[in-house]
Structure 1
Amino acid sequence: MIQSLTTITPFQQKLSSPLTKSTITVLQINLGKRCNLACTHCHVEAGPQRTEELTPEICQQLLEIIARFPQIQTVDLTGGAPEMNYGFRPLVEQARRYHKEIIVRSNLTIFFEPEFTDLPEYFAEHQVRVVASLPCYLEANVDGQRGAGVYQKSIEALKRLNEQGYGIHPNLILDLVYNPPLPKSNKFTLPPEQKKLERDYKAYLKEHFAIDFNQLLTITNLPIGRTKQYLERRQLTQGYLQFLEDNYNPETVSNLMCRHELSIDYLGNIYDCDFNQMENLPARDSKGQKLTIQKLLEFNNLDQIKRIQTAAYCYGCTAGSGSSCGGALL
């Protein structure tokens, strides 16, 4: 297939005004790239062979940030499999101590690794909100994206969470994440309407497995990490970016997750979002300097970023109904 020669409009030119930060309320921390899976769509490029993870020094700085700033409402832990990486439990317990919402982005299959079989009980004890990847409610589609046998392990893990009260008790929130299959041709699609697909998920999982959960979050595949590599191998990258630009919806911009969060990597560097982190596009203060957790502690101020760094893949978050770590934006 011949790569399209069309030029993608710089994202900033689409905006009626520069994309700026609001007050920071969310700390999203990527604890490292260690994972028990190596999913084909993973924008982090995590896997069992990766060793990068949080250090004790950076963990201590993060514990201090959580303690010092009451404006932080949510501590969002991701990876890799965040549960496998250094600092996971200390950060959960610190966030709980300071009455923050705690989110863990779990692949579910981690529950069956020998060191992590207690996770469902641990999550319930600390009232962790579990956001779990289940890119389809059908077995073949899930195993195609995430590896053979992942679907059945995910179903068993969801049952274990239900046994703890997840998806049933109001303080034990269980959300599932859908992302579309990677395209095999230039017939690109956006995620289906979130609420309708949620009803389909709930009906199927309840009927076949007696599983309950709270919300379904639909997330668009951004051309980053393994998704980007996949698209490049098939010469689909430019066409996919053009598709995302063609579906740009300005009504999504005010709800973008990058406006009120800091994304932090395992080295303590700060980004506007997890996608910028993976593309090494660091956040900058008003003087154009790169930011770190250490610098924020020295400033004693989280709100050092005025203008958000953007790139062509930002069209993925603003196409159609929008996309974020919290699902559709509209």
Structure 2
Amino acid sequence: MQTISITPFKNKLNSPLTKKGITVLQINLGKRCNLACTHCHVEASPKRTEELSPEICQQLIELIHKFPEIKIVDLTGGAPEMNYGFKPLVEAARATNKQVIVRSNLTIYFVDGFGDLPEYFAQHQLRIVASMPCYLADNVDKMRGYGVFDHSIQALQWLNKLGYGKEPNLILDLVYNPQLPTSEKFSLAPEQTNLERDYKMFLQEHFGIIFNHLFTITNLPVGRTRMHLERKKLYASYLQFLESHFNNDTIDHLMCRDQLSIDYLGNVYDCDFNQMINLPAKTVNDETLTVTKLLETGSLDLINEIQTAPYCYGCTAGCGSSCGGALI
């Protein structure tokens, strides 16, 4: 085990990291997925069976109806579409005029039983945020599995035919993740605007694909990314690299400031990464927070201070990183 010599994240800040008003509810429906990507911080795979229960699903639907301040319901996994409760949550959120984001791996549309998804997404005007860690086939297949690139291209062409990337209510965004490092020659994600231009030119020229935005997301040392770094004996040095690129200007824009992250058991976290290491959100009274407690108190504003960990440097390095890409 490597010795980690970095500044505790909260000591880097000028003041405690606190919540703003909650506007985003991010729900991880479970760990079931048709892929097992090498960089997955959730450690999802076809072998995982953890997923939302009917009881927690009903509580989440009640939460969506109860709090009009929630503007966005962000559904993730695993492949969120494979896990219990996906369509009921979509329909509850759309019925209350909230934007729904589905974090899709694109290849799920070619799995038996899920071929209706593109049309379903278009019908309900879901915003699709799709994993596309590179526009080159070899790099994508190396990270996500053989044949994933070809299926992803077919899926994007399918979505374009339905109006995604073209019609204003059918938004299609792609996500770039850097390749996992194999040496201490670390680098941050390329500048988002320039990389988006390169993606758009390449995908349009070679495949006739168009999309709205590209999000560059740093690989945080959590889940399989952490396992990879530890195998290569790079975990400590990667954290130190991220700390050395800390940018205080990102703090005001961090995704944990205005969102709650909910797991398939109904526990509440400040972000999806904290969820994966079981670092729960805490109330003002230092109690762990659940969906049940949110409903009982009738408030989303129960968190005193956001829980932090060393990997928070990944969200604050350079231009920053979030589920919506670069922060500044």
> Does the TM-score normalized on the shorter chain lie above 0.5?
yes
User: Counterparts of 1:111-150 in structure 2 under 5 Å?
Assistant: 111-150=109-148
Percent of pairs with identical residues: 68
- Counterpart in the other structure of 2:230: 232
CA distance in 2, matches of 1:224, 1:132: 20
- Counterpart in the other structure of 2:5: 7
CA distance in 2, matches of 1:4, 1:78: 32
- Counterpart in the other structure of 2:16: 18
User: Counterparts of 1:80-159 in structure 2 under 5 Å?
Assistant: 80-159=78-157
- Counterpart in the other structure of 1:190: 188
**Secondary structure of 1:303's aligned partner:** coil
Alignment of 1:72 with 2:65, yes or no, is: no
User: Counterparts of 1:146-185 in structure 2 under 5 Å?
Assistant: 146-185=144-183
Structure 1 residue 306, shift from structure 2 partner: 1.9
- Counterpart in the other structure of 2:267: 269
- Kindly report the root-mean-square deviation, in angstroms, between the aligned alpha carbons of the 2 structures: 0.7
- 1:133-157 CA-partner distances (Å, limit 9, x unpaired): 0000000000000000000000000
Aligned length: 328
**Secondary structure of 1:64's aligned partner:** helix
- 1:77-123 CA-partner distances (Å, limit 9, x unpaired): 00000000000000000100000000000000000001100111000
Counterpart of 2:46 (choices 44, 48, 58) is: 48
Amino acid at match of 1:201: Y
- Counterpart in the other structure of 1:258: 256
- Counterpart in the other structure of 2:293: 295
Structure 1 residue 6, shift from structure 2 partner: 5.5
Structure 1 residue 291, shift from structure 2 partner: 0.5
**Secondary structure of 1:156's aligned partner:** helix
- Counterpart in the other structure of 2:31: 33
Which segments of structure 1 move beyond 6 Å, counting only runs of 4 or more?
A: none
Alignment of 1:329 with 2:327, yes or no, is: yes
**Secondary structure of 1:115's aligned partner:** coil
CA distance in 2, matches of 1:46, 1:178: 18
Q: TM-score, normalised by structure 1?
A: 0.99
CA distance in 2, matches of 1:161, 1:52: 29
**Secondary structure of 1:175's aligned partner:** strand
Q: TM-score, normalised by structure 2?
A: 0.99
Alignment of 1:314 with 2:312, yes or no, is: yes
- Counterpart in the other structure of 1:219: 217
Which runs of 5 or more residues in structure 2 are unaligned?
Answer: none
